[in-house]
Chain A
């Protein structure tokens, strides 16, 4: 296609307002947060006297923030693993030409449309130890399986078991999303490929493990990136479902940041936490953006 210089100018002028807004309201505020995280701001009056990395040292040496980072790590691993597994399984099942596929697809995708706040409150009731799941277990005689769920402070090598109910709730909400991604991917694989595999004598199972799953790799990557950044900055689901939990069993950096900033009035420390979260997310997003931009250039 031919673009004249004038076309470029007009295009540039048209995106200029939003570019300005993004520069100020996104990048400007990131810079502002970094500056705040290096300041002594405590209390509601801003105080920008420079204190170096003091706030970072303070948060990294606090038991609470260390616990948060471990919780985020375990939560992310479990949550991503579960979403990918369930999503893949559901999409393969749906791809087998089941009746009423559209109905099932909508049912599985539906939780995604609900706000995390609603999910959090409902799952809080479901896992509340004196009612909910435990009551069902007791009623059917499986009392020994009842446990404290998100109120259980037990931990094994920095893994808090109280995170399990939250992982279940979050996966319930977002497995449908991975299912939709995988379903699109499966539909994109030509029938010929499957037929060729069958002619070569591959069993149905081998067709999936050797042919189809490798072809779905880029989809898995996108799913991991999108879910990964949700998981790293999760706040609303945990805040409404369990809060910080006993001995911070279910605390995450987002909750700590909110409470440090708005309850304890320690704005500088809160900003430091937000910057740590920003770098965690950047670690996931930037390689992804890099590869996808490169692909765009190639095509």
Chain B
């Protein structure tokens, strides 16, 4: 059965200039601190000042991205709100835990507790949009966004006209330090723009909020069609050799039908062997790595989906973001996305140009 899932609207707050303006003209932003932080917009244009004062960074990012996405889609109130997050609002969680310790479990401020719950962003969106329909947040580490997407695709299949589907994660200084203690980040400081020239254990951290308005019907405005999605949990090291051809075959495609591969390569030598497996089944395919743009985090796959949707709609890539890629294909009908989160959660996703191939 053909998956009917079209991206009708998108918005993203990320470490690059993705929220406003023409992304194809925006410069590549980089950092040398091993943490790519988002470029926050002026939230006052989207959220009333009286509501804004109580919101933490993650809530502001999530809600603003969701509002902008709905504006971009022109769809109005969503038929469902489905999101994924690996960590929720870390800032609120840390504040709440510190308060418990400092005030001996008494005199606890309610706001950070309320906002530290994973579904706080969804709740805010629902209140703001006065949307009382299906509302769900998936918290499954490196599968969080993909499960939100899978749930949305099922809802569309069952007749929900459109969904607001997104992902959000933030990184705090303290959490970054904790994760450094278990070897997630590189010990040496690396300029993110030269990430791939530094293969060594660990990678660089990132964060971002990305939302999509998904619909079962294509329009002239559609960015792309999400044509296939497959998840693999802790697969064997060589799994892609069989899994990738099988995934393509399931879509009625062969390797030469793939014009571009977006890869979650992140210069982490502990798990680089997974990405190296892409070469054999897809010989000569143009590969675009994206982790130098957004860093590594649980829902980085949403950033890649956002990027793929833009490339498919505009039929061009923001080339200035990929100085390491010598040549781009002239036409892009299909993009394959392969990403994994520290070798545990692996994702294959296929995106097609909307309107093409009978879509």
A and B held together in a complex? no
Chain B: residues with CB nearer than 8 A to chain A? Answer: none
